[in-house]
Structure 1
Amino acid sequence: MRCLVTGATGYIGGRLAPRLLAEGHQVRCLARHAGRLRDVPWAAAAEIAEGDLRRPETLPAVFADVDVAYYLVHSLGQAGFESADREAAEAFATAARAANVRRIVYLGGPRPAEDGGGSSAHLRSRAEVGRILLASGVPTAVLRAAVIIGSGSASFEMLRYLTERLPVMVTPRWVRNRIQPIAVRDVLRYLIGAADLPPEVNRAFDIGGPDVLTFGDMMQRYARVAGLPRRLVLPVRPLSPTLSSYWVGLITPVPNAIATPLVESLIHEAVAHEHDIADFVPDPPDGLTSFDRAVELALMKVRDAQVETRWSTASGPDAPAEPLPSDPAWSGGTAYTDVRERAVDASPEALWRVIEGVGGEHGWYSFPLAWSVRGWLDRLIGGVGLRRGRRDPHRLQVGEALDFWRVEEIVPGELLRLRAEMRLPGRAWLEMRVLPADGGRSRYHQRAVFLPRGLAGHAYWGSVTPFHAAVFGGMARNIARGAERDDPSVSSRPARR
């Protein structure tokens, strides 16, 4: 089956395209600029077609020989997004009909109020796009979802940041409205399954997960899954949707242009009124993904000994709902980093010997008092402190303890990654790399990563940041100097200019 995916640079489209490929389908992605998809891992397996839904003359070639066309674009965050989305949907529908496309699949929002009154512009626009596509003459499946749970989803990121950063929240009364969230993995399963609907099916379907919760419930359950204390939520009447969106914009990195329509969409309940989609795309044997499990998957940012979030094409039951490289910079939660790099007038081998000798009797190459104090404090609050030392003075292996770190990854001669086991309001790693340079020299790359847990985690990072120049900066300098001092070939080299 040849599938056309619009919005492949966006949240859902960027996750759907590789899954369609994994199912054995041919995939063509529509992009205004093909270069935006050049570096995605699955680019070589897909066809990238340049075109623009706002320029109908570019569409006939894009829709040629397409069996199923996915409409996954919107203009949310732009001025005049309602008219822009209307024009795009009309152009899409016309092109699909002219190309004899067999089916259109559209992911929309929850159904607005029956009379349209009081509904947000965002929901009204989503509903209008659905009506345009259903009237296109091409059999269409409109999937109506409320809050999608997965790292990178704007709704989930808003939930994540509000819960992690505010142990006490004064909230608008709409936090008591009922919502039926759905895991992104279930959304993708429905999108793929909708491609095989019988040709006579031309209708909208409500899709939702197994849990019906209030937004307040979702914050409390997120906190529990993330290991945070229970949040104190105080609903008050005066917070209007506009004031609420400004408040969300202040507390979270989600842009106001996106936060405002999302908040407005939460004013009314968003609960599925039917589950007819199961007649065509049956529920999995173990049921739809629960809210708690969806959050667990969204928080699986560190897998397979990786520090940064990574893209995964896995689609099995344990596949994480991680951010993609194409997701906005504000998605994926907060990750604080301290990065240092230095040119080293020594061979990569000499630099590696110094790196692998870190800790234990050799110490941490900078500010010994600071490291000792940190070890004492850790023991004071029940941690392991610095007393574990190291197994061997010269060699390390994956899994062994190193003072209050654990060796998480070693690539001999190239990489040492340590995971912190001291008591912290979050998770931390220290990574040291050897990079080759010209003339037999090397470069030293050092990175500390901290993933905060709750407001205490953010406060902790802020409190230790003033010491990083002495601790991490000194560490980088002294490791470089140690390698230069211990490399016998340095003295015979010409001085660097």
Structure 2
Amino acid sequence: MRVLVTGATGYVGGRLVPRLLERGHRVRVLVREAGRLSGRPWAGEVEVVEGTLEDPHALRRALEGVEAAYYLVHAMLSERRFPEAEARQAETFARVARETGLAHVVYLGGLLPRGAAPSLHLKSRARVGEILRAHLPTTELRAGPIVGSGSASFEMVRYLTERLPVMVAPRWVLNPVSPIAIRDVLAYLLLALERGPSGVAEIGAPPLTFKAMMETYAEVRGLKRLILPVPVLAPRLAALWVGLVTPIPNRLALPLVEGILHPLVADTAKAQALFPEVTPIPYRKAVELALARIALGEVETRWSGALQGQSYFLEDREGIIREVRALTVQAPPERVYQVFASLGGERGWLVWGWAWALRGLVDRLLGGPGLRRGRRHPTELLPGEAVDFWRVEAVEPPRLLRLRAEMRLPGKAWLEWQALPEGKRCRLVQTAYFAPVGLTGFLYWWALYPIHARIFSDLARAIAREAERSA
């Protein structure tokens, strides 16, 4: 079939596209920024339409001649009032899709609690499903926490369990939930395309409590952990704690926490009848597979690949402050590139570790991402990926990497490296850009300039030393 995938740069969509191509489907993707597909192995095999779900003209181009579409988007990280944004996007998509005669839309939604009010996030997911089903032939797959290398739910369990030998947890960690492995989600999504419109089906593995999820993770990792449920711990306070201890930002942690305030158990009878080929693997097996992927450095996509807020790009214009460092390095460009392209994450930033950690902590306290997002792969980078509190804006191996700041700042900032060949040597050019906003922005830059100048100088020298050692 000719299939449209929305959310192709997200956690699920980024894994679904190559599997659709493997099955012989012709894939078209709708993306906000076409450049974010650069570097992905499948980028040259798909049709690309640039636009958003609120742009009827882009949607019309994306849906023209398409037999089926996947709706795999949400606005939790990109919009403050995400329920309104998600409803607006779904209504625009449904209207244009109906006009173009779309025969089938497959939507990945969320499980709903029985006999209790859903969280704001789950209520919004349900509303999107209602809009799509009201206007289009739809298959809506409702899933609980998705478990896989790089998924938000898995990262939350992983970091809480790894970092806290003793946990005081809210009593609702005793509520049962139905997690599901990412490989099973992908299997259902692929089969849904073949089965045709099937209405709502809930999917999930055998349920267990969130406490049991953390205990199972600890067993797999050979850790001893004590979890003490207590009757009082407000969801917002718990989300703030999750945001402090794990890489998950508060804006995502709160919906995740609120989603398990009540039991979230899947009724899988319809899914078993529709898709008998799929037997969801147990949670323990999903954890083992996720950890194996991480150990091998084979994480295909990560939750942090989703953009947070509106993106912007570096433009050479008046008002931008530049801090440039240039060094001659006794190593080829490839070696220099390998060093600066592997900064951040578990490796860190080579110099002034305490200063980077402090800046990350301050950013977290101000509501930013901080350093805990890490990176998907220790050495490989793709456009649009997160690296700590940066976002990859441009990457051109083996000569260029530009990161765009997503920390809280009174302005916009970038950090760029170029590896320029000079015979058998290389010239490393490191540039920090800052576009201040108002007087506050200028005061911020000049107040921190003395320490920034020292850190950036030391960083450039450390990159050069590392490249020369490796050469």
The answer, yes or no, to whether TM exceeds 0.5 is yes
One of 175, 180, 194 as aligned partner of 2:192: 194
Q: Which residue of 1 aligns with 2:442?
A: none
Where do 4+ consecutive residues of structure 1 move more than 6 Å? none
What secondary structure sits across from 1:257 in the alignment? helix
Change (3 A) 1:436 1:174: same
Deviation sequence 1:109-168 (CA, Å, 0-9, x none): 102445xx53211111011111111111x2101000001001221111111111111111
What secondary structure sits across from 1:259 in the alignment? helix
Q: Report the aligned-residue RMSD.
A: 3.2
Q: Which residue of 2 aligns with 1:63?
A: 63
Q: Which residue of 2 aligns with 1:168?
A: 166
Whether the 8 Å contact between 1:245 and 1:260 is mirrored in structure 2 is: yes
CA distance in 2, matches of 1:214, 1:264: 15
Q: Which residue of 1 aligns with 2:252?
A: 258
Change (3 A) 1:345 1:47: closer
Change (3 A) 1:64 1:250: same
Q: Which residue of 2 aligns with 1:233?
A: 227
Whether the 8 Å contact between 1:147 and 1:180 is mirrored in structure 2 is: yes
Q: CA deviation at 1:93?
A: 1.0
Give the letter aligned to residue 163 of structure 2.
R
TM-score, normalized by length of structure 2? Answer: 0.65
One of 201, 204, 207 as aligned partner of 2:203: 207
Q: Quick check: 1:294 aligned with 2:270?
A: no
One of 133, 154, 157 as aligned partner of 1:156: 154
Give the gaps of 5 or more residues in structure 1.
313-321, 330-341, 349-434, 445-468, 484-497
Q: CA deviation at 1:99?
A: 1.3
Whether the 8 Å contact between 2:70 and 2:106 is mirrored in structure 1 is: yes
Q: CA deviation at 1:344?
A: 6.3
Change (3 A) 1:311 1:234: closer
Change (3 A) 1:267 1:477: closer
One of 272, 275, 295 as aligned partner of 2:266: 272
Q: CA deviation at 1:302?
A: 5.6
CA distance in 2, matches of 1:301, 1:254: 20
What secondary structure sits across from 2:232 in the alignment? coil
CA distance in 2, matches of 1:96, 1:76: 23
5 Å-filtered alignment, 1:364-403, equals none
CA distance in 1, matches of 2:332, 2:10: 44
CA distance in 2, matches of 1:478, 1:90: 52
CA distance in 2, matches of 1:478, 1:267: 50
Give the letter aligned to residue 259 of structure 1.
A
What secondary structure sits across from 2:11 in the alignment? coil
Whether the 8 Å contact between 2:150 and 2:299 is mirrored in structure 1 is: no
What secondary structure sits across from 1:5 in the alignment? strand
Give the gaps of 5 or more residues in structure 2.
309-326, 334-418, 429-457
Whether the 8 Å contact between 1:311 and 1:325 is mirrored in structure 2 is: no
Change (3 A) 1:265 1:129: same
Q: CA deviation at 1:205?
A: 0.3
CA distance in 2, matches of 1:106, 1:178: 24
Q: CA deviation at 1:437?
A: 5.9
Change (3 A) 1:97 1:40: same
Deviation sequence 1:57-97 (CA, Å, 0-9, x none): 32111100111111111111331111111011111111221
Q: CA deviation at 1:479?
A: 7.9
5 Å-filtered alignment, 1:6-25, equals 6-25=6-25
Whether the 8 Å contact between 1:112 and 1:123 is mirrored in structure 2 is: no
Q: CA deviation at 1:253?
A: 1.7
Q: Quick check: 1:91 aligned with 2:92?
A: yes
What secondary structure sits across from 2:194 in the alignment? coil
What secondary structure sits across from 1:9 in the alignment? coil
What secondary structure sits across from 2:29 in the alignment? strand
CA distance in 2, matches of 1:478, 1:68: 49
Identity %: 48
What secondary structure sits across from 1:88 in the alignment? helix
Give the letter aligned to residue 96 of structure 1.
A
Larger Rg: 1
Q: Which residue of 2 aligns with 1:76?
A: 76
TM-score, normalized by length of structure 1? Answer: 0.62
